[in-house]
Structure 1
């Protein structure tokens, strides 16, 4: 993972506070796929590029042991702060070097992170650690979809236009737009699920949604290249446009605004 857009204690803290948890339906579908070939107690899962543990913690009740791995020390610190399960742990390390013995892991997950990896090295390492019939689950999600009266699509377009028209996203992020179709998977047994059935709806405020946007790599990259004052200027202008489109006069932190993240899921299985 050559790019380091998610480092820093402050960034990791806001990431932990505002990045969504995956929907339970996505976890259930992943486990159903795994159970088609792997029976008995589930021993070990690893969540790669775990960030502050959004998926890692969710897997804890399904496996004897779960490890979250991330290249960022700050992200791992945040994950450890909020983890309560004794069977879930975290380790700083690259996606391409996993601390497991051969054929010792039933499930490898990566949420909103696989586009940053060195794919040949990552999948070679995953193939080494997976048991026969073990599963790789890759998922990612859309930009926030504000559920506001009849303006949901218009508001979402404002967000997308801001993301790609003003911020500075690396080329890898566009793999999400194509549902990871450009990623060369290591196995032939593949399921791709990319309809609107997987989503998380956040009951928050407009300010909560804006804070999630601050965790984007494109936001952080713009700040690194142009400075904090510059990124705050374009972000404040965006927020003014957004609130104007909503037709409200209150402040973002005062406005209750449900918003959704829509997910896609790619599952692939190691041959037995």
Structure 2
């Protein structure tokens, strides 16, 4: 199966406007993991997760199929970036103590990726997969946000988006000692900042490609009076699952 790349064309927006993940997420993933020599961050994008893992691990291998994304990735001495598919990597058998995938597993051939993880991770290593769902706004802003998400750009989402909506519940996870957790990422954003975040959505990019107009502009005009001139709190529900290889 050919890998799906929905982000190279707007890597600059992605690097600037996508969210970071909370410290609590990494604390949950690492848990009582005693061996923190080497981690693999798969589908690293601009390297935000690799950058966080570099504080905890002696070495981080970070891969993505997008050369454009990797060019913009955070550079640190103990992070090594390279282009690679998730399902077929150049890594040696039994290399990693931790494998992470943030907001990307739904784009993979999941069984093939899990087979690759079983090959390249050490016995007892941890695999953590997470994502975040539709942004939550105020009571006044949530209805137009949901309408935009479902109706205006709904037809332009790839089918894989459904896995985000149901929090990976229908994606197999055949590992031991499975743990799940949810976290909230909260930011205070101006309307301009929020609209630029929406422009990173793959469905918005597809809408622009097919219609030669930006649907976010009209949406911003629609909610301007509700948002006001200042900042609004935007909340991102992050869901995570982690398990061990036996």
* TM-score bracket, shorter-length normalisation: over 0.9
CA deviations on 1:139-171 (whole Å, 9 max, x unpaired) are 11123323xxxxx13313322321221111111
User: Post-superposition shift, 1:223?
Assistant: 2.0
152-161 or 21-30: which moved more? 152-161
Distance (whole Å) between structure 2 residues aligned to residue 154 and residue 94 of structure 1: 42
Instruction: Give 1:156's aligned residue.
Output: 142
2:85 to 90, 94, 103: 94
Instruction: Give 1:62's aligned residue.
Output: 56
User: Structure 1, unaligned stretches of length 5 or more?
Assistant: 147-151
1:263 to 235, 238, 243: 238
CA deviations on 1:214-233 (whole Å, 9 max, x unpaired) are 00111112122222x2xx1x
Shift >4 Å, 4+ stretches: none
Whether 2:214 is the aligned partner of 1:243: answer: no
The normalised TM-score by structure 2 is 0.93
Instruction: Give 2:7's aligned residue.
Output: 6
Instruction: Give 2:134's aligned residue.
Output: 143
Instruction: Give 1:172's aligned residue.
Output: 160
**Are the aligned partners of 2:198 and 2:216 in contact in 1 as well (CA < 8 Å)?**
no
Instruction: Give 1:219's aligned residue.
Output: 204
Where 2:72 maps in the other structure, the secondary structure is: helix
202-211 or 43-52: which moved more? 202-211
Where 1:20 maps in the other structure, the secondary structure is: coil
User: What root-mean-square deviation, in Å, do the aligned CA atoms of Structure 1 and Structure 2 show?
Assistant: 1.6
Where 1:3 maps in the other structure, the secondary structure is: coil
Distance (whole Å) between structure 2 residues aligned to residue 235 and residue 27 of structure 1: 32
Where 1:154 maps in the other structure, the secondary structure is: coil
Distance (whole Å) between structure 1 residues aligned to residue 89 and residue 142 of structure 2: 37
Number of residue pairs aligned between Structure 1 and Structure 2: 243
User: Post-superposition shift, 1:53?
Assistant: 1.2
Where 1:199 maps in the other structure, the secondary structure is: strand
Counting only pairs closer than 5 Å after superposition, residues 113-152 of structure 1 correspond to structure 2 as 113-146=104-137, 152=138
User: Structure 2, unaligned stretches of length 5 or more?
Assistant: none
1:39 to 30, 34, 38: 34
**Are the aligned partners of 1:52 and 1:76 in contact in 2 as well (CA < 8 Å)?**
yes
Where 1:26 maps in the other structure, the secondary structure is: helix
CA deviations on 1:197-255 (whole Å, 9 max, x unpaired) are x122223311111111100111112122222x2xx1x3222112212333x3x4xxxx3
2:99 to 95, 105, 108: 108
